[in-house]
C-alpha cells in the first residue's frame, strides 16, 4: 500500500511523542529511585538498600494471582532467582515483602514493636466482612479493648478454662459416637465429614453457644469456611454466593436471642468488653464470627490429618494404642480422658506436631508502622535491607517448615519427628549449625495463638476416643489423601478429597 506523505509524518510525530513520554517517565523513575536510595543511605548508612523488587504487568493486583496459587512455590521461586532472603512486590495494591530464608521468618515476632500486630484481623475484617480498615484499626488501637481481649485470650491457656472445655468437647464427642455407630454392624461414613461434624459441635458447645453448635448451622459454617481463602484473595463477592449466604446466616444467629441465651463464658466476656469499649454492633458480630472461625477453621483439618495418618500408618497406630494401654481405663465402660492422661499420649502429640509442620502453612500479613532495617548475612551477601513504614511483611511459615536443611525429607510425613526424649524435652532443630525455632504453626509474639493448648488436647482426646471406642477401617478401594504443602492458603490445609471409612463400636 502506498502511504500518503502527510499521514506518515503524522505517525512519525506520534511515535516520537510516545517515545519521549516513555523515556521521560523511565528517567523520572530512575531519578526518583536514585534520590530515594540516597535519602535511605543518608539516614541509615551506605550499606542500606531496599530488597530486590519483582515487578508485575498486572495493575493493582500485581503478583497476587501468582502468589495465591501456591505461596510456598512463589516464595522459593523469587528468592532463589534473585538470590535474596527478602524480596518485594505489589500484592493487591500494597507493597509487600516476602521472606525466603528460614533465619528471617521470626522477624514478624522479633520486630513486633515496628509492626501493626492486628494487621491480620484488620485485613480479615475488610475482606470477609467489608469493614473498612480505618474503622477496625480504630477499634484495635483502643487500649482498653486490646487489654480486655488479651486478658480474655490468656484465660484460654489456663487450666481452669482448658479442663472444663476439653471435658465438654469430649462429652459431646462421646455422645455422638454412641448415637451414630452400633456394635453389631459396620457403618460407612466420610471421614472428613465425620470429623467436621464432631469437632464443630464439640468446639462450639465449649466456646461459642448452643445456638451456633446446632447441627443445622453446619452447612452454613462449611460454606463460610470453604470460601474464606477466595474472599481473602479478593474474589468478588458475586462469585462467592454460598460463602456470603453462609456468612450472613452465621451473623444472623450471632445477633439472635437464642445465641445470647446460650452463649458460653469465653464469648460472653468478648461481648461484654465490646459493649463497654464502644465497638459497633456490626464490628462486634463480625469479631465474634472471626473468633468462632479461629477456634475451628484450623482445628478440623488438623484433627482430620492426625486420624487419616493414624489409619494408614501402622506404626503410628500401634504406638498410640500402646500409649493408651498405659492409661488405666475403667473396665467395660466408655470414658473420657483427663488432661494428665492426654499428656501421656506421646505418639499422638508428635503426630499432631508433624501435621501442623506440614499442614498449617498460612501467610500472616503484618503492616509496618516504623521503618525496619534488616541485617542480612549469608554466604553470598552482607548488607542491610530497609523495609519502609507503610509497606507490609507477609509472614510465612512454609519457608521454615519445609526447609530441607532443617527437616530432612520435609515432604515425608514422619509422625515420630517430634517425639520427646527420655527427659521429656523436644528435639532441637538447627540450620547452618545454629539452633532455630523451627516449629511455628501457632504464630508468635503477642499474637501467639491462645487456643493452641485446647487444640492439642481436643485433637488427642478425639483420637483417644476413637481408638478406645471404635474399630475403623478404610473402605476397600478408597484412596486416602496426604497433606500437600503447596495447597496452603488461609489456615490449615484441607484434604483434596474425602475418604470413606467403615466404623463399628467396640464390644
CB 110 within 8 A of CB 103: no
The Cα 50–Cα 37 span in angstroms is 8
Q: Which is nearer to ligand HEM, 246 or 443 (CB)?
A: 443
Does 142 belong to an annotated binding site?
Answer: no
Strand bridging mode 372-377 / 363-368: unpaired
Of 4-12, 14-22, 331-339, 442-450, the window that binds ligand HEM (rule: CB under 6 A) is: 442-450
- Work out whether 336 is an interface residue with ligand HEM (CB under 6 A): no
Closest CB 272 distance from ligand HEM, rounded Å: 16
d(CA 102, CA 431): 8
Kindly indicate which of the ranges 80-88, 136-144, 213-221, 289-297 contains the residues binding ligand HEM, using the contact rule CB under 6 A: 289-297
Strand ranges in 183-316 using DSSP code E only, listed in sequence order: 187-190
Select from 136, 299, 396, 399 the one that contacts ligand HEM (CB under 6 A).
299
Instruction: List all residues 6 or more positions away from 406 whose beta carbon is below 8 Å from its beta carbon.
Output: 102, 400, 429, 430, 431, 436, 438
Of positions 302, 350, 396, 414, contacts ligand HEM by CB under 6 A? 302
Closer Cβ to ligand HEM, 84 or 118, answer by number: 118
Closest CB 111 distance from ligand HEM, rounded Å = 14
Candidate ranges 2-10, 315-323, 367-375, 448-456; the one touching ligand HEM (CB under 6 A): 448-456
In whole angstroms, give the CA distance from residue 468 to residue 471.
9
CB of 141 to ligand HEM, least distance (A): 14
Contact 253, 259 (CB under 8 A): yes
**By CB under 6 A, residue 400 contacts ligand HEM:** no
| Site track for ligand HEM across 86-115, x = CB under 6 A | ------------------------------
Question: Could you give the CA distance from residue 192 to residue 302 in angstroms, rounded to a whole number?
Answer: 11
Q: Are 379 and 401 in contact (CB under 8 A)?
A: no
**Residue closer to ligand HEM, measured from CB, 360 or 503:** 360
Are 477 and 219 in contact by the 8 Å Cβ rule? The answer is no
Query: By CB under 6 A, which span of 95-103, 230-238, 383-391, 441-449 interacts with ligand HEM?
Result: 441-449
Of 40, 291, 306, 361, the one binding ligand HEM by CB under 6 A: 291
Q: Which one of residues 450, 485, 488, 495 is an interface residue with ligand HEM (CB under 6 A)? A: 450
CB of 291 to ligand HEM, least distance (A): 6
The residue with cell 521472606 is: 99
Under rule CB under 6 A, residue 436 binds ligand HEM: no
At residue 366, the 3 state secondary structure works out as strand
User: What cell was used for 390?
Assistant: 507503610
Is residue 156 involved in binding ligand HEM (CB under 6 A)?
yes
CB-based closest residue to ligand HEM: 451
Q: Which of 406, 449, 493, 499 binds ligand HEM (CB under 6 A)?
A: 449
Stretch that binds ligand HEM, among 11-19, 99-107, 384-392, 450-458 (CB under 6 A): 450-458
Report the site for ligand HEM in 355-384 (rule: CB under 6 A). Answer: 356, 360, 364
Contact 417, 357 (CB under 8 A): yes
Q: Count helices and strands (H / E) in the chain.
A: 21, 14
C-alpha cell at 444: 508468635
* Residue at grid coordinates 478454662: 161
Q: Rounded to the nearest whole angstrom, what is the least distance from the CB of residue 119 to ligand HEM in the complex?
A: 7
Helix, strand, coil shares of the chain, percent, nearest 5, are 55, 15, 30
Q: In angstroms, how far is CA 36 from the centroid of its own chain?
A: 35
| Span interacting with ligand HEM, options 174-182, 297-305, 323-331, 479-487, rule CB under 6 A | 297-305
Indicate the DSSP class of residue 131.
-
Round to whole Å and give the CA distance between 308 and 336: 21
For residue 81, the surrounding DSSP H or E stretch is helix 71-81
Does 350 engage in binding with ligand HEM (CB under 6 A)?
no
Beta strands in 304-350 (DSSP E): none
Q: Does 290 bind ligand HEM (CB under 6 A)?
A: no
The single-letter DSSP state of residue 445 is: G
For the segment 464-503, give every residue that binds ligand HEM (CB under 6 A): 492
Burial-class residue 482 by CB neighbours within 10 Å (0-12, 13-18, 19+).
middle
Is 459 one of the annotated binding-site residues?
no
The yes or no reply on residue 294 touching ligand HEM (CB under 6 A) is yes
127 annotated ligand binder: yes
Residue 451 touching ligand HEM (CB under 6 A): yes
Annotated binding site for substrate: 127, 298, 392
Task: Give the interface with ligand HEM as residue ranges (CB under 6 A).
Answer: 120, 153, 156, 207, 291, 294-295, 298-299, 302, 356, 360, 364, 441-443, 447, 449-451, 454-455, 492
Annotated binding site: 127, 298, 392, 449
Amino acid at each position: 500500500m502506498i502511504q500518503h506523505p502527510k499521514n506518515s509524518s503524522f505517525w512519525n510525530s506520534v511515535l516520537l511523542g510516545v517515545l519521549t513520554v516513555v523515556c521521560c517517565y523511565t528517567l523520572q523513575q530512575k531519578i526518583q529511585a536514585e534520590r530515594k536510595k540516597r535519602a535511605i543511605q543518608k539516614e541509615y548508612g551506605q550499606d542500606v538498600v531496599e530488597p530486590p523488587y519483582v515487578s508485575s504487568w498486572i495493575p493493582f493486583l500485581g503478583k497476587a494471582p501468582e502468589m495465591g496459587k501456591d505461596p510456598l512455590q512463589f516464595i522459593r521461586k523469587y528468592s532463589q532467582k534473585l538470590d535474596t532472603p527478602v524480596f518485594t512486590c505489589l500484592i493487591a495494591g500494597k507493597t509487600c515483602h516476602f521472606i525466603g530464608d528460614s533465619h528471617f521468618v521470626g522477624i514478624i515476632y522479633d520486630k513486633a514493636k515496628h509492626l501493626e500486630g492486628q494487621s491480620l484481623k484488620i485485613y480479615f475484617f475488610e475482606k470477609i466482612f467489608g469493614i473498612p480498615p480505618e474503622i477496625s484499626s480504630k477499634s484495635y488501637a483502643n487500649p482498653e479493648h486490646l487489654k480486655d481481649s488479651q486478658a480474655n485470650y490468656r484465660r484460654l491457656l489456663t487450666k481452669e478454662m482448658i479442663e472444663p472445655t476439653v471435658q465438654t468437647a469430649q462429652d459431646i464427642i462421646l455422645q455422638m459416637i454412641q448415637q451414630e455407630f452400633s456394635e453389631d454392624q459396620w457403618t460407612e461414613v466420610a471421614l472428613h465429614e465425620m470429623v467436621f461434624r464432631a469437632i464443630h459441635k464439640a468446639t462450639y458447645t465449649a466456646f461459642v453457644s448452643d445456638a451456633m453448635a446446632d447441627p443445622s448451622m453446619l452447612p452454613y459454617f462449611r460454606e463460610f469456611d470453604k470460601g474464606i481463602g477466595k474472599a481473602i484473595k479478593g474474589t468478588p463477592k458475586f462469585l462467592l454466593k454460598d460463602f456470603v449466604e453462609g456468612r450472613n446466616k452465621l451473623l444472623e444467629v450471632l445477633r439472635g436471642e437464642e445465641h445470647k441465651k446460650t452463649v458460653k463464658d469465653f464469648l460472653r466476656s468478648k461481648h461484654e468488653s465490646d459493649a463497654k469499649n464502644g465497638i459497633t454492633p456490626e464490628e462486634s458480630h463480625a469479631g465474634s464470627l472471626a473468633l468462632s472461625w479461629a477456634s475451628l477453621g484450623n482445628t478440623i483439618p488438623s484433627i482430620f490429618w492426625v486420624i487419616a495418618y493414624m489409619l494408614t500408618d501402622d506404626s503410628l497406630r500401634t504406638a498410640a494404642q500402646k500409649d493408651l494401654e498405659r492409661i488405666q481405663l475403667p473396665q467395660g465402660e466408655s470414658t473420657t480422658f483427663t488432661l494428665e492422661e492426654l499428656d501421656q499420649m506421646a505418639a499422638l502429640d508428635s503426630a499432631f506436631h508433624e501435621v501442623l509442620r506440614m499442614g498449617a502453612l498460612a501467610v500472616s500479613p503484618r503492616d509496618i508502622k516504623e521503618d525496619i532495617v534488616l541485617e542480612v548475612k549469608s554466604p553470598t551477601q552482607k548488607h542491610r535491607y530497609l523495609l519502609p513504614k507503610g509497606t507490609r511483611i507477609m509472614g510465612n511459615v512454609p519457608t521454615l517448615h519445609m526447609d530441607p536443611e532443617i527437616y530432612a525429607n520435609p515432604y515425608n510425613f514422619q509422625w515420630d519427628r517430634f517425639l520427646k526424649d527420655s527427659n521429656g524435652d523436644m528435639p532441637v532443630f538447627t540450620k547452618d549449625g545454629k539452633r532455630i525455632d523451627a516449629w511455628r504453626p501457632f504464630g508468635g509474639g503477642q499474637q501467639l495463638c491462645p487456643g493452641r493448648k485446647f487444640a492439642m488436647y481436643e485433637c488427642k482426646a478425639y483420637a483417644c476416643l476413637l481408638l478406645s471406642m471404635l474399630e475403623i477401617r478404610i473402605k476397600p478401594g478408597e484412596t486416602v489423601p496426604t497433606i500437600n504443602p503447596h495447597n496452603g492458603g488461609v489456615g490449615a490445609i484441607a484434604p483434596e478429597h474425602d475418604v470413606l471409612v467403615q466404623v463399628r463400636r467396640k464390644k
